[in-house]
């Protein structure tokens, strides 16, 4: 399964070859030489089919491709699963090698991620910023990464743990001091891990629960971020000291983490108030356990006797003052962990209330650690203080006693339903049918009324009762464990006020930040007006304490209007909301709901941040990381440090060196591009009567529901059509067949129209001088590189009725035209010529992804050809599911 080595293979290719060779050995050992040779023949034919050019008309299959198809068609049923597993495993191993290469010391220049932070500090000094100005802004960095559990992670946690160990082995092999014997032992360990993975079932036996998803997030913290965060802060601190002579303040934490796992109930009936309570307790348990692990070596290290008077006053005549203080903290952490265990064992038990010795306030954790740190420095032992103790102290500031704060998210219609049932029960009418100003008047009056509104004997519907129970969880847990309340599909100020009233009526005694999430094209266009009106209300100005968070939805806006129109609507909304908050003298935090794929706001984070409207970042960034992107960006400590450094450098740069305000001419062109692209996009997706049948026939959208990916249903409404499909499976389905339609549909026609209308010079100026436009076209280019019209046509030939195929031909022509117009604008002959590393990575995967695509199309045809009600063979379904996971690995993202 290895590539033929080149004369001077890169370290990436060396590792890919080694992992592929070891996988081949495992396959040969388990399935025999004949089967291994068949896998090699498939791989060689797939590679050869990629190396030759298609005929000019693109209609004739190459001889190698036909030979590949003949071989795949001839596979007996009992070989389907091992064949698809072989290629799926290779793609996962390739991903590990590529991830490691980004942080490898042997990383080639074209692959290595530059030290953006160092380069930025140089640039800032050259621009005339003083050392003090730079240090102050760096100390004020406020980056919050929100981990979410959307159903995109197709890899089992069991396999992820094995991949993590393979990564560590690659790191060990770079140690030049290893003897040949030691290297052999490491390679043997890799062989063991690959063998374990080969003999492990790929999928969970059932869908994960929301609690399982939360545990996956905790595992990322335990195995990666726990070590990565202090390394990241040290790196920032070292860069600052080297360039400015200033250190970070001891309590400066440039990054925090929050989570939606166990708190995001939008469209997920399995996230209940009981689940949220359990996840919060698990989070506290994990925090206590991790800090106890930190304290064990710390207590041994801090054996010195010299201490400050302040510390001595606390511990008395102890010969080991640091031991005494930290042992007391250790006992309290043990009490805290035991309290969590009791609560988890007996949910709802009154005895689970905190007892004496349980730590609840972060200051109780931070104070003794900081006292030890300051005492050591006061005694001239700063070299000790700045070691593991400082790392633990920084973890305390970042993670605290709750490990990771939880957001609550719910759809606005659920709050409307709750208030509608309430007003009808009270004889006040039906809130749902009131006009917006009438709603606001009622809500503001009740928010300022001290008497309770909820009747004691009120029996609401189960859905409304769950909303009430969730608000009561917020009241019980408080601001220490919870972050903000996100309202999806927010449209009007009343959506925010409704949540405030429900929280008040359920006993919440703190002003929980309420975050409207604007998702559709119309809602994005109306976002600034909504925020302006909200901030004009005196009651709300008092409630928000001079700060407002606004969430921008990337997924649903792109699904609603197409990628280009959505991107411009997002930009305009951020720009307008920034202006409204500045006018009102309110501190704005923009919360970016980005997904893994380009079509859901994904893509290179550094470029994405730098392309935001000027003034919108202002040293603050809040962003979601979803599904498998959590593993890709934060799954390994070295990679996590690099990802966090990219976030930090981009946030600081966007603050101090913001992009230019777009010229009116650029805005006019973007307005027209947006109008043209949305017309084409909706003309196909909404208005073409055969689109939905074609989509359902050509993609594995229906079959995706069989994969136990995530706890949330794939559709908001079980019986709805494409309009009810969530953005993730919508993107996932098109990615599987390599057409990637949601990202590019409408873009080609829009760009071509602009060129035809004499705007080429303006477009070229925008590509050069406007980071927003440049980043969009580069992301579009990356998407085009991953598309494959011929593979998409193969799916069509296998799966789509003859009367619908005209639509596929039309879509492929549109894709071809879009690629041509982009290449013409960039004055290049090949896609991604300026990003050779990404181009090579995609090319490296194609010979292994292509057979999975061909097999998936055939397997879909076989499964669908069974008569309704007839049982599909287990091996057939299993092979189909593995192709879905393997193609996802080959594409490096799913939804």
Tens digit of pLDDT for each residue in 805-860? 999 999 999 999 999 999 999 887 788 777 777 777 787 788 899 999 999 999 99
Contacts 24+ apart (CB under 8 A), 569-576: 569/521, 569/524, 569/525, 569/674, 570/524, 570/601, 571/612, 571/613, 571/772, 572/524, 572/525, 573/518, 573/524, 573/525, 573/527, 573/528, 574/612, 574/613, 574/616, 575/613, 575/616, 576/527, 576/528
Contact predicate 484/514, CB 8 Å: yes
Query: Is 559 annotated as catalytic?
Result: yes
585 and 474 part of one domain: yes
512 and 577 part of one domain: yes
Query: 116-129: per-residue pLDDT in tens?
Result: 899 999 999 999 99
Say if residue 895's pLDDT is above 50.
Answer: no
Asked whether residue 514 is domain-assigned, the answer is yes
**What's this model's pTM, rounded to 2 decimal places?**
0.90
User: What is the average pLDDT value for the chain, to the nearest integer?
Assistant: 89
Say if residue 372's pLDDT is above 90.
Answer: yes
Portion of the chain with pLDDT greater than 90, in percent: 71
> Residues 38, 89, 150, 235: which is the catalytic one?
150
Asked whether residue 50 is domain-assigned, the answer is no
pLDDT confidence bin for 560, thresholds 50/70/90:
confident
Instruction: Give the dihedral sign, CA 162/167/170/176.
Output: negative
How many CB atoms are closer than 10 A to CB 44?
Answer: 15
554 and 672 part of one domain: no
Asked whether residue 178 is domain-assigned, the answer is no
Asked whether residue 502 is domain-assigned, the answer is yes
Query: Residue range 776-799: average pLDDT?
Result: 93
Query: Tokens 């890899």 identify what position?
Result: 155
CA 663 to chain centre: 32
The reported pLDDT for the residue numbered 600 is 37
The reported pLDDT for the residue numbered 10 is 65
CATH of the domain at 488: 3.20.20
Residues in the chain: 895
CA distance 323 to 328: 8
The reported pLDDT for the residue numbered 657 is 94
Pairing of strands 620-626, 255-259: unpaired
> Residues 89, 559, 606, 633: which is the catalytic one?
559
Last residue of a domain, one of 818, 834, 850: 834
How many CB atoms are closer than 10 A to CB 547?
Answer: 12
Print the domain residue range for 781.
662-699+737-834
Q: Tokens standing for 77?
A: 């049923």
Portion of the chain with pLDDT greater than 70, in percent: 90
819 and 744 part of one domain: yes
Asked whether residue 180 is domain-assigned, the answer is no
The reported pLDDT for the residue numbered 597 is 43
Asked whether residue 796 is domain-assigned, the answer is yes
Say if residue 135's pLDDT is above 50.
Answer: yes
Instruction: Give the dihedral sign, CA 4/6/7/12.
Output: negative
580 and 468 part of one domain: yes
Torsion of CA 704, 707, 711, 716, to 10 degrees: 20
669 and 545 part of one domain: no
The reported pLDDT for the residue numbered 700 is 93
Closest CA relative to residue 402, chosen from 364, 458, 459, 356: 364
pLDDT confidence bin for 717, thresholds 50/70/90:
low
Query: Is 150 annotated as catalytic?
Result: yes
Last residue of a domain, one of 781, 808, 834: 834
524 and 614 part of one domain: yes
Q: How many domains does the chain have?
A: 2
Asked whether residue 456 is domain-assigned, the answer is yes
458 and 542 part of one domain: yes
Compute the chain's Rg from CA coordinates: 28
Q: How far is CA 726 from CA 121, 208, 342, 705, 722, in A?
A: 42, 18, 38, 12, 8
């Amino acid at each position: 399964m290895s590539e033929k080595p080149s004369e001077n293979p890169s370290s990436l290719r060396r590792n890919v070859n080694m992992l592929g060779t070891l996988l081949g050995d495992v396959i040969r050992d388990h399935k025999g030489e004949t089967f291994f040779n068949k896998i090699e023949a498939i791989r060689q034919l797939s590679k050869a089919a990629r190396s030759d050019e298609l005929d000019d008309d693109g209609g004739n299959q190459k001889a190698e491709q036909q030979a590949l198809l003949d071989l795949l068609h001839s596979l007996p049923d009992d070989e389907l699963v091992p064949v698809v597993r072989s290629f799926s495993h290779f793609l996962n191993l390739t991903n590990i090698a590529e991830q490691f290469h980004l942080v490898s010391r042997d990383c080639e220049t074209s692959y290595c991620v530059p030290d953006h932070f160092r380069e930025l500090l140089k640039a800032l000094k050259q621009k005339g910023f003083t050392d003090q100005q730079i240090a102050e802004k760096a100390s004020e960095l406020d980056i919050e990464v929100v981990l979410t559990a959307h159903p995109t992670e197709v890899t089992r946690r069991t396999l992820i743990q094995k991949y993590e160990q393979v990564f560590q082995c690659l790191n060990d092999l770079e140690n030049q001091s290893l003897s040949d014997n030691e290297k052999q032992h490491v390679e043997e360990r890799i062989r063991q891990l690959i063998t374990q993975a080969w003999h492990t079932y790929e999928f969970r036996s059932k869908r994960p629960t929301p609690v399982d998803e939360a545990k996956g997030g905790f595992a990322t913290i335990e195995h990666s971020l726990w070590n990565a965060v202090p390394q990241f802060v040290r790196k920032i601190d070292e860069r600052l000291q080297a360039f400015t002579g200033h250190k970070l303040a001891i309590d400066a934490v440039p990054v925090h983490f929050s989570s939606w796992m166990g708190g995001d109930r939008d469209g997920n009936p399995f996230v209940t108030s009981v689940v949220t309570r359990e996840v919060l307790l698990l989070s506290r348990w994990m925090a206590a356990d991790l800090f106890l692990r930190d304290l064990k070596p710390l207590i041994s290290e801090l054996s010195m006797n010299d201490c400050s008077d302040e510390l001595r006053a606390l511990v008395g005549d102890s010969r080991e003052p640091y031991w005494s203080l930290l042992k007391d903290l250790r006992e309290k952490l043990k009490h805290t962990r035991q309290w969590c265990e009791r609560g988890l064992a007996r949910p709802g038990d009154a005895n689970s209330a905190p007892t004496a010795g349980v730590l609840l306030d972060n200051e109780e954790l931070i104070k003794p650690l900081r006292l030890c740190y300051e005492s050591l420095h006061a005694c001239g032992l700063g070299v000790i203080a700045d070691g593991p103790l400082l790392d633990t102290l920084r973890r305390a500031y970042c993670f605290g006693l709750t490990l990771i704060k939880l957001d609550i998210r719910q759809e606005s219609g659920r709050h409307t339903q709750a208030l509608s049932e309430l007003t009808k029960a009270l004889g006040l009418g039906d809130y749902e049918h009131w006009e917006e100003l009438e709603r606001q008047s009622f809500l503001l009056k009740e928010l300022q009324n001290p008497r309770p509104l909820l009747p004691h004997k009120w029996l609401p519907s189960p859905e409304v009762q769950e909303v009430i129970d969730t608000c009561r969880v917020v009241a019980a847990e408080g601001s220490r464990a919870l972050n903000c309340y996100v309202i999806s599909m927010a449209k009007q100020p009343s959506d925010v006020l409704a949540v405030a009233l429900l929280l008040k009526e359920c006993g919440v005694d703190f002003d929980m930040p309420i975050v409207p999430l604007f998702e559709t094209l119309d809602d994005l266009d109306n976002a600034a007006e909504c925020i302006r009106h909200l901030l004009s209300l005196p009651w709300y100005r008092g409630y928000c304490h001079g700060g407002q968070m606004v969430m921008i939805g990337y997924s649903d806006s792109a699904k609603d209007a197409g990628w280009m129109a959505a991107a411009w609507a997002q930009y305009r909304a951020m720009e307008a909301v920034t202006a409204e908050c500045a006018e009102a003298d309110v501190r704005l935090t923009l919360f970016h709901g980005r997904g893994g794929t380009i079509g859901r706001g994904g893509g290179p984070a550094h470029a994405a941040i730098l392309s935001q409207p000027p003034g919108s970042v202002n040293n603050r960034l809040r962003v979601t990381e979803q599904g498998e992107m959590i593993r890709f960006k934060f799954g390994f400590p070295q990679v996590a440090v690099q990802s966090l450094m990219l976030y930090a450098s981009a946030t600081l740069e966007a603050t101090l060196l913001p992009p230019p305000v777009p010229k009116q001419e650029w805005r006019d062109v973007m307005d027209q591009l947006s109008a043209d692209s949305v017309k084409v996009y909706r003309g196909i997706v909404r208005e073409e009567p055969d689109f939905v049948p074609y989509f359902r026939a050509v993609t594995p959208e229906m079959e995706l529901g069989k994969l136990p990916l995530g706890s949330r249903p794939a559709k908001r409404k079980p019986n709805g059509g494409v309009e009810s499909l969530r953005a993730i499976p919508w993107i996932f389905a098109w990615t599987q067949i390599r057409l990637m339609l949601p990202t590019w549909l409408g873009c080609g026609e829009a760009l071509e129209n602009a060129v035809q209308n004499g705007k080429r010079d303006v477009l070229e100026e925008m590509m050069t001088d406007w980071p927003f436009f440049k980043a969009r076209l580069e992301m579009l280019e990356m998407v085009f590189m991953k598309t494959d019209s011929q593979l998409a046509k193969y799916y069509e030939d296998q799966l789509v009725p003859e009367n619908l195929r005209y639509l596929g031909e039309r879509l492929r022509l549109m894709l071809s035209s879009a690629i041509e117009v982009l290449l013409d604008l960039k004055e290049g002959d090949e896609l991604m010529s300026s990003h050779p590393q990404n181009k090579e990575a995609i090319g490296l995967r194609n010979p292994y992804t292509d057979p999975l695509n061909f097999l998936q199309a055939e397997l879909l045809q076989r499964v669908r050809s069974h008569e309704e009600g007839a049982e599909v063979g287990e091996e057939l379904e299993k092979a189909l599911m593995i192709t879905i996971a393997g193609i996802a690995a080959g594409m490096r993202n799913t939804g």
